[in-house]
Copies of this chain bind each other. A is one copy, B any other.
Amino acid sequence: MDGRSARKRQAIMDAARELFLANGYQGTSMDEIAALAEVSKQTVYKNFADKRQLFAEIVLRAASRADEFVRALPQVLADAPDLEAGLRTLARRYLAAVMQPELLQLRRLVISEAGRFPDLARDYYELVPDHVMTTLAVQFGELSEKGLLEADDAVAVAGHYAFLVLGLPLDRAMFLGAEHGLTPGAMNKHADAAVGVFLAAYRPL
């Protein structure tokens, strides 16, 4: 693909992401996407077979942003002076990543469209929340082998960590949107308290 085609493709994806997040799948037309991207409708269809395919690409590309957090995860724990500090830093970063406004909107959109796009919702679940938990489970398993955690069922332990940290803020944000009322300070406090509960259960005596 030459530079001009690549730029047009990118402009289409940017326009589509903006419109899908603002107006939903049903509320967005290929005409509007072409207009916002400043390309012809023919160009849109040359790049994407139909609205479904474009939607799937937008969701999966945005989902891949979770990879960054997943890749950084082992190092966050390795760099910390001790386990508690590592789990706290991780919890704060995890929460901050998930509570990004655009990611919240995307999450709401995927949940909204899960009836129409069950495979896409499943892919998203596997690529984002499940991928993070699987990565956590590997780390917790290693910590358990080193005797730093008592985590026999590392997958279940990862789920406890994830939802102690994220559960409440994410639920608020799904219903209340940007008006969820949690300041960065409140989120950090929440993350620290979550780690406290987690360690009370899983730190070896």
User: Which residues of A pack against B, CB within 8 Å?
Assistant: 24, 26-27, 108, 110-112, 114-115, 118, 121-122, 124-125, 129, 156, 159-160, 162-164, 166-168, 170-172, 174-177, 179, 190, 193-194, 196-198, 200-202
User: What are 21 of the A-B contact pairs (CB < 8 Å)?
Assistant: A24-B26, A26-B27, A108-B112, A111-B111, A115-B177, A121-B175, A121-B176, A122-B175, A122-B176, A125-B172, A129-B171, A156-B190, A160-B197, A162-B168, A163-B168, A164-B167, A164-B197, A196-B201, A197-B198, A197-B201, A200-B201
Neighbour of A118 across the interface among B108, B112, B170, B179, CB < 8 A? B179
Neighbour of A111 across the interface among B112, B156, B159, B201, CB < 8 A? B112
Given contacts A26-B26, A26-B27, A197-B197, contact A110 B175 (CB under 8 A): yes
Known: A121-B176, A197-B201. 18 other contacts (CB 8 A): A24-B115, A111-B174, A111-B175, A112-B112, A114-B175, A118-B179, A125-B176, A129-B175, A156-B193, A160-B164, A160-B197, A163-B164, A167-B167, A170-B171, A197-B198, A197-B202, A200-B200, A200-B201
Identical chains bound together, number: 2
Chain B nearest Cβ from A21, distance in angstroms = 10
